């Protein structure tokens, strides 16, 4: 079973997500693993691919691939898949990669499974895991034909350096007329004021237990120390302690950060459904019977006003 | 498929929500909006153990982010004239949800409904949708961000490849200027401004607008607007190319997520903060 | 402090908010023939019957304009806000669909074959012979929410224009006659400010308006005030909380209980009981009802249901099962003496539970709603057919005449004093009720008085200590129950609940315990002996209890509230 991993590059560097999927593909230990980089000036990225387990890296260098646009990448990948004979084509989800994977699936009439949070090989078959219904069930998905296209949820696999070297193979692609019609005319750097709660890897959320609107400064400081965003429960948004845009839950936003720190949140189901997909949940609450302790990975029963500032201080000291 | 459906009407700028010019050079555009009926968010959702598919027997609703696409289409139409048609694939009762788009102001609804299409995966769905869209010869095909039932995500890219049209996704601001469309696309690295000639496919993000409420007159008028239902045969699609037969992915099993086995609950004895730091470090979260 | 009466802290609300002249220009308003407010059994039966009549008289369809029949429903769809036991007497629905549909074509859970009534104590259950009023052989178990959706399909097939997610906000009264209804605004922010997607309500002008709002109706209450239609007694309500359970073993009989966990002494004012009805082999409907004249600050109908479920009689039925639905609703309980003095006014007809048509001893109202809706349709149609100006005073009197000569009136007259008898406590009430049943209401000869629910002086007995702690699988807290109701109301809309927000602690706590949806919380002391009442309106399932106990429920933005499907 041969696997090809799409390595998205940004400023010539492969993204962490792509290297993570590549590392995972190598760790599956089922057949050849190669990578593909597309763009201009991306040849250096190939070496990094080798260090993360790709025995071979296919490179398509073409001006048509200079801008981060999906459609020419579908054309290039079509050529690389034909050249490599890959049976699995894996992507780390991103705005760009999702479009590329879907376009490629249509082009090759291939099956696409997305939002995968795990991959394994079972009886010679590739099997993926996809959470569904707000992460309340896990669906085991497979493919009935090749190539099998898989899009892995962002941040699922960490890159692991195995230190290997790689063989680079150039491939040339022909581009469809329609693929090159969309043009990048401008790029605007994001006005950064910290990540939004939908994008944040870390969220510090506050509830009634903060005692009042002033309690949110504790959340903000802790979030700043972790490079995260601040969220709030409906109760405190209703009470006017924090803006509606930060509300997480049934009638607010649904988030799935890697780390969710809940300060003074009881954990009613209306809140839980908005954050239960979080990777790790840490809760601090003075009420030992708060429902949040039923689903927190780490629960600390205690006084927020004591613990949270100290936690911020300790985290600041580490960096 | 050409641009026969639009013609210049003059020049003008219209600020609909007080900020953003939508249409620079005014043209009449025919817009097809791809929408989907999903199980109502309020209804307890489940996966049917017999089919491993989402149980769609309950009440349906128009997928929330598709409503943003309908809204954007209506704003373009209001600024420039033209026509908005909503296109969907689903069971016949999905027409009830399409009617919400008609109540908002869309002109027509087209539903492809065929038992053989049930269970279609992304590739098979895009095949049917592309066929339906080819009939419409729209200048602009709009999609919403993704569907709340987890299916059909990134469908626009597959459809645009089949339609052989340029595509811009994750668009937070959309401008139609004469025979071109410009979208501000939000990515992990900021905003890319992307231009493409019409006809084109655009997927909008849910940040693009705040959808309107259908007016009572709109709701009453919706019932008498054209609502067409097509079978696969009407579209010339071979039933073998869709449904489970035409799909290349499969659901092997459905299971609850593993119970959290390593939950820790401690009483703070003054070292709570240190213990949290240790825990986060051990989990490599810091 | 005890002895406080919630009625002494009236809500900031005036009828002017619910009643007024039309404001839209004629070219902006929507004109319909007959407008029905409320997609419950009464309103939908009215729409169905009108459809039948229009089919028989196509000329009338022309005369009534582009939209002969329209129906406003504040829920997401008809059925969304419907909740009842329910065991339905099939008489009215059979008549409505006579020659068209059999009851077997409708969504039911079959006919009652076996029934049992128990008098409960904490540890025991005494099976007693069903009182004659509680005999249910031949009646049908239904989900009124499912029935509503079925009736809506029938009404639409008959040509009615059903407009869901649309609240009837204001009754339009023009020169002394009802001229239609103004619908609610959509897209307002918390402080009432229009949001960018603001969509104003619109005047829906109608020749005849039928109010079928059900319990504690917003427009109905205002109309009764405006037209001076108060009955001889004030209206009173009970609050019912219901769950639907999936169960491992079928239940073969309809069960009612009286007694525990309610207290029998008159001073507590705790009148009520429970039901458990089979819904096919796999589900049961279980509910607990308590009259809102109760006195105890800490009485909570939701927690009484949870407590009731801990009784061994109930555990035997539910054990190993799973809760699949939850909801709450008030029941209009005043009976004949509390009904409006007239059920029509110029241009207006009152139908169903909103008009007080509930038989409390028999635990029945659905069939009266259907029958009154059908009669209202026939009256309205006949008036328009004979070219009557419906706004003329007395033009719709044939509606009252027809109802008064029907079985509805006969039934309600027989039981007219039975509910009030239980103000005297459980045993006295039971004895009086028996006398009334035996004599078909002739004895005792005196008619009974009632006082408004909000006038009961409050008392404290530490009642809450007996409620079970929710375990999340068999017994439940209020918030997870609200979640199970499907409620996901937009949070940033104006509050639709009017209450005085500075009240004695006893009143604030009483609301807190009373509300099954955790809408009210007790806030800080004001320093003058009162406390702040914090209101979470988006939890509200629109049961109506607050209107009975000293506040005023108004309709929130259309489409808000619970999403009942099997209740």
CA distance B209 to B2: 29
Q: Which of A251, A268, A294 sits opposite C490 (nearest CB)?
A: A251
User: Distances in Å between the alpha carbon of C77 and those of B94, C39, C170, C244, C555?
Assistant: 15, 8, 20, 20, 15
Which of C323, C483, C484, C486 to mutate against chain A (most A CBs within 10 Å)? C483
Taking the Cβ of residue C14 and every Cβ of chain A, the question of whether any pair is shorter than 8 Å is answered with no
Chain C nearest CA to B206, separation (Å): 15
Write out residues 22-61 of A within 8 Å (CB-CB) of C. none
Q: How confident is the model at residue B6 (pLDDT cuts 50, 70, 90)?
A: very low
As a whole number of angstroms, the distance between CA C418 and CA C436 comes to 7
Check A296 against B265: CB less than 8 A apart.
yes
Total-model pTM: 0.91
CA dist A95 → A99, A195, B203, C224 (Å): 7, 16, 12, 59
Answer with the residue of higher pLDDT: A181 or C426.
A181
Inter-chain CB proximity C538 and A251 less than 8 Å = yes
Query: What residues form DSSP beta bridges with A260?
Result: A203, A281
- Given a cut of 60, whether residue C213 has pLDDT beyond it is yes
Residue of C nearest to A269 (CA): C480
Predicted confidence band of residue C392 (pLDDT cuts 50, 70, 90): confident
Query: Are β-strands C344-345 and C520-525 bridged in parallel, bridged antiparallel, or unpaired?
Result: unpaired
Provide the CA C559 distance to its chain's centre, in angstroms: 18
Residue C297 tokens read as 């600050």
Closest chain C C-alpha to A113 CA, distance in angstroms: 30
User: Across the interface, do C183 and B44 touch by the CB < 8 Å criterion?
Assistant: no
- Residue A116 in tokens: 């995968």
Per mean pLDDT, which of A200-204, C130-134, C219-223 is the most reliable?
Answer: C219-223
Cβ-Cβ contacts under 8 Å, C565 against chain B: 43, 58-59
Structure tokens at C117: 């009534």
**Which of B192, B250, B262 is facing A68, going by the closest CB pair?**
B192
Q: What is the pLDDT of residues C50-80, one digit of tens each?
A: 999 999 999 999 899 999 999 999 999 999 9
A254 touches chain C (CB under 8 A): no
Compute the average pLDDT of residues A123-134: 88
Task: Report the SS3 class of residue A303.
Answer: coil
Q: How far is C470 from chain A (nearest CA, A)?
A: 11
* Integer Cα distance of C34 and C306 in angstroms: 43
What integer pLDDT is reported at residue B9 of this predicted model?
35
- As for the ipTM of the complex, it is 0.88
Pick from B121, B166, B249: CB nearest A71? B166
Instruction: Classify the phi-psi angles of C26: left when phi > 0, otherwise alpha if psi is within -120 to 50, otherwise beta.
Output: alpha
Number of A–B residue contacts, CB under 8 Å: 249
Q: Are A229 and A195 in contact (CB under 8 A)?
A: yes
* C189 interface with A at CB cutoff 8 Å: no
Do the bridges between strand A229-232 and strand C194-199 make them parallel or antiparallel, or are there none, so unpaired? unpaired
Tell how many helices (H) and how many strands (E) occur in chain A: 9, 18
Q: Judge contact between C108 and C285, C-beta under 8 A.
A: no
A247:C491 CB<8 A: yes
Chain-wide mean pLDDT for chain B?
85
Q: Are residues A301 and B265 in contact, defined by beta-carbon separation less than 8 angstroms? A: yes
Mutation target vs A (from C191, C491, C501; most A CBs, 10 A cutoff): C491
- Between chains, do C489 and A251 touch, taking CB under 8 Å as contact? yes
Q: What are phi and psi of A32, to 5 degrees?
A: -70, 145
For C406-419, write each residue's pLDDT tens digit: 999 999 999 888 88
Q: Do C488 and B223 touch (CB under 8 A)?
A: no
Buried (b) or exposed (e) across A12-45, using 16+ Cβ within 10 A? eebbbbbbbbbbbbbebebebbbbbbbbeebeeb
Q: State mean pLDDT over B243-262.
A: 84
Quote the pLDDT of residue B1.
Answer: 34
Which of B163, B250, B280, B284 to mutate: most A Cβ within 10 Å? B280
Closest residue by Cα to residue A231 from A215, A217, A248 = A248
| Contact between chains at B212 and C486 (C-beta distance less than 8 A) | no
Inter-chain CB proximity C183 and B216 less than 8 Å: yes
pLDDT band at B42; cut points 50, 70, 90: low
> Does residue C336 have a cis bond before it (omega within 30 degrees)?
no
Query: In this complex, do C491 and A239 lie within 8 Å of one another by their Cβ atoms?
Result: no
What pLDDT does B60 receive?
77
- Give the pLDDT mean for A260-278: 93
| C283 SS3 class | strand
Q: What is the pLDDT of residues C452-464, one digit of tens each?
A: 999 999 999 999 9
Name the minimum distance, in Å, from the CA of B118 to any CA of chain A: 16
Buried-exposed string C274-303: b where 16+ CB fall within 10 A, e elsewhere = bbbbbbeeebbbbbbbbbbbbbbbbbbbbb
Q: Which chains touch A (3 or more CB pairs under 8 A)?
A: B, C
Average pLDDT on C233-243 reads: 97
Burial grade of C372 (CB within 10 A; 0-12, 13-18, 19 or more)? buried
Residue B149's pLDDT is what? 56
User: Is the Cβ pair B268, A307 closer than 8 Å?
Assistant: yes
Decide: helix, strand or coil at residue B7: coil
Contact C186 B40 (CB under 8 A): no
Q: Is the dihedral of CA B84, B90, B92, B97 positive or negative?
A: negative
Work out the minimum CA distance from C383 to partner chain A, whole angstroms.
47
Asked whether the bond before A116 is cis by omega within 30 degrees of 0, the reply is no
Model confidence at C428: pLDDT above 80:
no
Residue B22 pLDDT: 55
Q: Which residues of B touch A71 (CB under 8 A)?
A: 160-161, 166-167
pLDDT over threshold 60, residue B23: no
> Which residue of chain B comes nearest to A315, CA vs CA?
B277
Residue of C nearest to A233 (CA): C491
Partners of chain B (3+ Cβ pairs below 8 A): A, C
What are the phi and psi torsion angles at A230 (to 5°)? -105, 135
Closest-CA distance of chain B to residue C480, Å:
13
How many Cβ pairs within 8 Å bridge chains B and C? 53
Task: Give percent above pLDDT 70 in chain C.
Answer: 100
Considering only the beta carbons, identify the residue of C30, C563, C565 that sits closest to B217: C30
Distance CA C334, CA C291 (A): 10
* β-bridge partners, A138: A131, B255
Question: Within 10 Å of residue C406's Cβ, how many Cβ atoms?
Answer: 15
**From residue C273, how far is each of C118, C261, C291, C304 by CA, in Å?**
10, 9, 9, 10
Query: Which residues on A lie below 8 Å from B158 (Cβ)?
Result: 102-103, 105-106, 112
Contact C76, C52 (CB under 8 A): no
Give pLDDT tens digits for A53-62.
Answer: 999 999 999 9
Least CB-CB distance to B196: which of A105, A181, A293? A181
The residues, ordered by sequence, that sit 6+ positions from A299 with a Cβ below 8 Å of its Cβ are A282, A283, A284, A285, A292, A293, B263, B264, B265, B266
Task: Say whether residue A297 is in contact with chain B using an 8 A CB cutoff.
Answer: yes
CA distance C331 to C325: 19
pLDDT at residue A277, as a whole number: 84
The alpha carbon dihedral of C299, C303, C309, C311 has a sign of negative
- Which range (A185-194, A282-291, B122-131) has the least confidence? A185-194
Mean pLDDT of C89-95: 97
Please answer whether residues C394 and C401 qualify as being in contact, where contact means their C-beta atoms are separated by less than 8 angstroms: no
Chain C residue with the nearest C-alpha to that of B103: C163
Closest partner residue to A111 (CB to CB) among B160, B195, B247 is B247
For B123-174, write each residue's pLDDT tens digit. Answer: 999 999 999 999 999 999 999 987 655 554 689 999 999 999 999 999 999 9
Nearest to B210 among C161, C183, C196 (CB): C196
How many residues are given for chain C?
567
Question: Can you count the helices (H) and strands (E) in chain B?
Answer: 7, 15
Match 């009173």 to its residue by tokens: C236
Decide if A111 and B170 are in contact by the 8 Å CB cutoff.
Answer: no
Q: Which residues of B touch C70 (CB under 8 A)?
A: 220
């Amino acid at each position: 079973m041969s696997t090809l991993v799409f390595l998205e590059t940004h400023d010539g560097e492969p993204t962490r997500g792509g290297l993570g999927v590549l590392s995972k593909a190598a760790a599956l230990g089922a057949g050849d693993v190669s990578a593909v980089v597309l763009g201009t000036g991306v040849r250096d990225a190939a070496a990094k691919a080798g260090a993360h387990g790709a025995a071979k890296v296919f490179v398509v260098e073409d001006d048509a691939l200079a801008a981060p646009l999906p459609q020419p990448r579908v054309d290039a990948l079509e050529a690389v898949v034909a050249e490599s004979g890959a049976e699995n084509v894996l992507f780390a989800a991103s705005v760009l990669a999702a479009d590329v994977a879907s376009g490629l699936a249509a082009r090759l009439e291939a099956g696409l499974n997305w939002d995968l949070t795990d991959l394994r090989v079972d009886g010679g078959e590739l099997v993926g895991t996809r959470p569904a219904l707000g992460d309340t069930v896990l669906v085991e998905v497979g493919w009935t034909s090749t190539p099998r296209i898989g899009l892995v949820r962002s941040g699922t696999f960490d890159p692991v350096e195995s230190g290997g070297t790689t063989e680079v193979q150039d491939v040339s692609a022909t581009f469809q007329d329609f693929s090159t019609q969309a043009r990048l005319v401008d790029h605007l750097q994001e006005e950064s004021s910290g990540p939004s709660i939908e994008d944040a890897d870390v969220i510090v959320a506050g509830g009634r237990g903060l005692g009042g609107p002033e309690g949110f400064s504790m959340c903000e400081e802790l979030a700043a120390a972790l490079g995260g965003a601040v969220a709030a429960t409906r109760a405190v948004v209703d009470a006017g302690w924090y803006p509606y845009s930060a509300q997480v839950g049934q009638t607010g936003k649904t988030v799935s950060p890697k780390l969710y720190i809940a300060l003074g949140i009881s954990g009613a189901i209306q809140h839980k459904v908005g954050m239960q997909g979080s990777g790790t949940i840490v809760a601090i609450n003075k009420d030992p019977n708060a429902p949040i302790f039923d689903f927190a990975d780490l629960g600390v029963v205690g006084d927020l006003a004591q613990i949270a500032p100290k936690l911020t201080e300790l985290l600041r000291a580490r960096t | 498929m050409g641009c026969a459906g639009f013609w210049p009407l003059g020049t003008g700028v219209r600020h609909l929500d007080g900020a953003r010019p939508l249409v620079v050079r005014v043209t009449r555009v025919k817009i097809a909006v791809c929408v989907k009926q999903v199980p109502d968010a309020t209804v307890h959702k489940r996966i049917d153990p017999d089919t491993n598919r989402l149980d769609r027997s309950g009440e349906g609703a128009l997928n929330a982010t598709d409503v943003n696409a309908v809204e954007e289409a209506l704003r373009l139409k209001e600024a420039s004239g033209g026509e908005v048609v909503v296109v969907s694939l689903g069971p016949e009762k999905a027409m009830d949800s399409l009617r919400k788009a008609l109540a908002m102001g869309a002109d027509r609804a087209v539903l492809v409904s065929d038992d053989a299409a049930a269970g279609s995966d992304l590739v098979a769905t895009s095949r049917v949708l592309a066929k339906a869209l080819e009939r419409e010869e729209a200048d602009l095909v709009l999609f919403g961000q993704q569907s709340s039932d987890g299916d059909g995500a990134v469908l626009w890219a597959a459809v645009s490849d089949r339609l052989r049209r340029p595509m811009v996704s994750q668009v937070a601001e959309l401008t139609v200027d004469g025979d071109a469309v410009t979208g501000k696309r939000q990515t992990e690295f900021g905003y890319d401004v992307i231009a493409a000639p019409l006809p084109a496919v655009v997927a909008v993000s849910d940040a693009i607008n705040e959808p309107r409420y259908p007016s009572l007159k709109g709701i009453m008028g919706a019932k008498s607007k054209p609502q067409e239902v097509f079978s696969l045969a009407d579209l010339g699609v071979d039933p073998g190319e869709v449904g489970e037969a035409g799909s290349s992915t499969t659901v092997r099993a459905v299971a609850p997520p593993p119970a959290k086995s390593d939950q820790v609950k401690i009483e703070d004895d003054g070292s709570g903060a240190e213990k949290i730091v240790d825990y986060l470090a051990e989990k490599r979260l810091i | 402090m005890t002895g406080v009466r919630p009625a002494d802290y009236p809500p900031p609300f005036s009828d002017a908010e619910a009643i007024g002249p039309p404001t839209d220009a004629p070219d902006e308003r929507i004109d319909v023939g007959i407008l029905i407010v409320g997609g419950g059994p009464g309103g939908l039966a009215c729409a169905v019957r009108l459809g039948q009549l229009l089919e028989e008289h196509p000329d009338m369809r022309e005369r009534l304009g582009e939209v002969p029949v329209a129906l406003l429903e504040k829920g997401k769809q008809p059925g969304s806000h419907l909740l009842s036991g329910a065991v339905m007497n099939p008489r009215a629905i059979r008549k409505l669909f006579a020659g068209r549909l059999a009851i077997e074509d409708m969504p039911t859970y079959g006919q009652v074959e076996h029934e049992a009534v128990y008098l409960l104590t904490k540890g025991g259950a005494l099976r007693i012979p069903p009182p004659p009023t509680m005999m249910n052989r031949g009646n049908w178990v239904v989900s009124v929410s499912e029935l509503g959706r079925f009736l809506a399909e029938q009404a639409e097939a008959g040509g009615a224009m059903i407009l869901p997610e649309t609240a009837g906000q204001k009754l339009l009264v023009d020169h002394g006659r009802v001229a239609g209804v103004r619908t609610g605004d959509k897209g307002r922010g918390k402080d009432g400010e229009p949001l960018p997607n603001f969509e104003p309500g619109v005047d829906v002008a109608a020749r005849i308006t039928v109010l079928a709002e059900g319990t504690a109706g917003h427009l109905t209450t205002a109309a009764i005030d405006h037209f001076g239609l108060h009955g001889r007694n004030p209206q009173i309500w009970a609050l019912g909380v219901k769950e639907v359970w999936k169960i491992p073993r079928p239940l073969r009989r309809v069960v009612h209980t009286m007694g525990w966990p309610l207290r029998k002494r008159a001073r507590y004012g705790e009148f009520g009981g429970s039901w458990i009805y089979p819904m096919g082999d796999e589900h049961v409907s279980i509910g607990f009802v308590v009259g809102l004249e109760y006195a105890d600050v800490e009485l909570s109908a939701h927690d009484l249901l949870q407590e009731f479920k801990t009784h061994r009689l109930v555990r035997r039925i539910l054990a190993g099962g799973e809760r699949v639905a939850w909801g709450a609703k008030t029941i209009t309980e005043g009976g004949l003496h509390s009904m409006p003095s007239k059920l029509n006014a110029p241009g207006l007809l009152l139908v169903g539970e909103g008009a007080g048509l509930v038989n409390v001893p028999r635990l029945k109202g659905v069939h009266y709603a259907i029958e009154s809706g059908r009669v209202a349709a026939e009256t309205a149609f006949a008036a328009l057919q004979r070219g009557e100006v419906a706004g003329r005073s007395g033009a719709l009197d044939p509606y009252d005449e027809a109802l008064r000569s029907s079985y509805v009136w006969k039934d309600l007259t027989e039981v007219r004093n039975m509910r009030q008898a239980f103000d005297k406590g459980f045993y006295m009430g039971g004895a009086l009720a028996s006398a009334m049943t035996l004599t078909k209401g002739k004895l005792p000869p005196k008619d009974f008085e009632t006082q408004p629910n909000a006038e009961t002086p409050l008392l404290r007995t530490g009642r809450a200590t007996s409620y079970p702690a929710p375990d999340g699988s068999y017994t439940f807290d209020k918030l997870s129950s609200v979640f199970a109701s499907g409620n996901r109301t937009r949070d940033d809309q104006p509050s639709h609940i009017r209450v005085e927000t500075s009240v004695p602690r006893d009143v604030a706590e009483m609301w807190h315990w009373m509300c099954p949806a955790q809408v009210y919380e007790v806030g800080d002391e004001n320093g003058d002996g009162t406390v702040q009442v914090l209101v979470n309106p988006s939890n509200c399932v629109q049961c109506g209890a607050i209107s009975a106990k000293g506040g005023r429920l108004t309709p929130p933005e259309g489409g808000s509230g619970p999403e009942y499907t099997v209740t």
